[in-house]
Amino acid sequence: MDKPTSETTAEPQSSVPANKWVALIVLVGGLAMIVIDGTIVGVALPVLVDDLNLNFNDAQWINSLYSVIFAALLLTSGRLGDRLGRRRLYMVGIAIFVIGSLMASMADSATTLILARAIQGVGGACVLPATLSSMNSIFRGKDRAMAFGVWGAVIAGVAAIGPLLGGWITTYFTWPWIFIINVPIGIVLLIAAYVVVPETRAGVIDPGLDIPGLLLSSFGFGAVIFALIEGDSLGWWTQKADLNVLGITWSTDAPLPAVPTIGAIGIMLLIGFAFWERHRGRIHRSAILDMNLFFTPTFSWGNVTAMMVAIAEFGLLFVLPLYLVNALGLSTMGAGFVLAAMAGGAFISGSLARHLTALIGAPGTVILGLLLEVVGVIVVAVFVSSTVAPWLLALLLVIYGTGLGLASAQLTGTTLADIPPEESGQGSATQSTVRQLGSAIGSALVGAVLAFGLSRNMPSTLEAGGVPASEANQLSDATRESAGSAIGVLRDQGTHGKLGEAGPDVVRLLSDGFAEATRYSLYVSAAFLLLGLIGALRVKASAQKVASR
């Protein structure tokens, strides 16, 4: 039996080019474009629901599928960048992302928009690991820490500003422009990347392509996210509706319900993926995920923290726009302004994080940021209602945004601090995958909590307000299925709709129920942030142990 061999490639250019800071601008420009696209859609969801006749599940898939595809392909694309060239992968990713954006702008149904979002996810999966691994190869020492600080600040800042931009574009133009805007930006980035970003590759790469690993991770992630999103509509344990996929029907008469079965299959596939990757590493074949990286404590605990933060952040960015527009009756622009408070806090704290780090260290900065995030989300949850002043929510969200900026700006560099440069592609792709998987789980899981709250609590809220039980169930179902937009329709009708003089009172009760379900969702997000805080404390302990050696 032939012994596996490794393939060696040379670095075409110096790893420390003279124009490295210009290259950083181009790299974070692509990063900003793909990250903002993960959040810009959220505030436009109420408009998309109306224009494309989406239901609650469609809205979740539009938010989540981008992240699912993103997460499923990140590890593979990171390895491809190591092998084929990181600048090349970056440019291919930008081109694919632009194509997906054009398709999304022309979508006329849920299916076509979801497909376009999947293509955008493929492009984003190529871009993001290429930015991190290029930076890890180009920068050294203090410059590397500064570059990672910029990267983290961009992640936090543009993710938070996405809702404001989405609200502005949707209000003053039309929703397709939230995708069209990517086209000219992408073209400029393609040209700039070719001119100023140096091509880098890993020096030694194990042979082979890990196709089984790609399939196991993709189907595993997809099955778990599917179960989270479809659980409320199909039934978590007892199937209450048929599942039709590609002409195949999983009926309510089947011996096993669809959601727990598919979720369990997904978990088993992911366990199989972990064992398979371990096996690939032992025989020195190319693996999507180098399991040995997780023996580095700062890396493993840093990834736990990153996932928890992403679950909470993207859960918030899915739920809050729906609450602001439907329960509070704000316009998409108004909702964008409220959510932009997070961006303000994130930008300011992200820019100051480097100075704070000099005083308390990067792990300490992450811990402080997470403490502020937990406090911010809990306080917002306490004040959430159908009558709260939007300006008050905006002020409270500044607390969360400030924490987000501090934590995100330093978490990436802290997680990768003990990973050698030759493993930067694997390390950065793994951390990016964890973030994207967290964002997909966040939209699905926190969205599922919102849907559960709407379907379980809203009927009793309506009945307590004097609405007959049968009508209360119909109104509750319509609200959940429409992701809350049914409240806006009734609000616009006033006393002239089918509910007559009772219309405004029913709107108030529906808004109360939506606010209550939102509160549950926020508490779940806070719980994940607490888990992230525990992970950050472990990162600090691991970093101190390494420093003392």
Largest CA distance in the chain: 83
Alpha-carbon distance 344 to 537, whole Å?
26
Q: In which region does residue 483 sit, left (phi positive, over 0), alpha (psi from -120 to 50) or beta (all else)? A: left
**pLDDT tens digit string along 358-367?**
788 878 888 9
Please count the residues of the chain.
Answer: 549
**pLDDT tens digit string along 158-214?**
765 676 777 788 878 888 998 998 999 999 999 999 998 888 876 555 566 678 887
Alpha-carbon distance 41 to 199, whole Å?
33
pLDDT, position 92: 94
Q: How far is CA 54 from CA 33, 60, 120, 323, in A?
A: 25, 10, 20, 17
Confirm if 366 and 305 have CB atoms less than 8 A apart.
yes
**pLDDT tens digit string along 214-250?**
788 878 877 887 787 777 677 778 887 777 665 677 8
pLDDT, position 56: 67
Task: Count CA within 13 A, CB hemisphere, residue 12.
Answer: 13
pLDDT, position 101: 93
Confirm if 277 and 213 have CB atoms less than 8 A apart.
yes
The model carries a pTM of: 0.73
Burial 259-271, CB ≥16 within 10 A → b, else e: bbbbbebbeebbe
**Coil, strand or helix at 302:** helix
**pLDDT tens digit string along 354-401?**
777 778 887 888 899 999 999 999 999 999 998 899 999 999 999 998
pLDDT, position 424: 62
Q: What tokens were used for 470?
A: 């049968």
Q: Which domains does the chain have, with CATH numbers?
A: 18-199+286-456+516-547 (1.20.1250.20), 210-285 (no CATH)
pLDDT, position 448: 80
Contacts of 214 (CB under 8 A, 6+ apart): 72, 73, 76, 288
Task: Count CA within 13 A, CB hemisphere, residue 130.
Answer: 33
pLDDT, position 157: 63
**pLDDT tens digit string along 24-55?**
889 989 988 887 876 677 677 777 877 888 77
pLDDT, position 531: 94
Confirm if 263 and 257 have CB atoms less than 8 A apart.
no
The pair phi, psi for residue 62, each rounded to 5°, is: -60, -35
Question: In terms of DSSP bridges, do strands 204-205 and 7-8 run parallel, antiparallel, or are they unpaired?
Answer: antiparallel
63 burial level (CB within 10 Å; 0-12, 13-18, 19+): buried
**pLDDT tens digit string along 82-95?**
778 889 999 999 99
Of the candidates 435, 176, 468, 178, the one whose C-alpha atom is nearest the C-alpha of residue 308 is: 435
Alpha-carbon distance 167 to 503, whole Å?
28
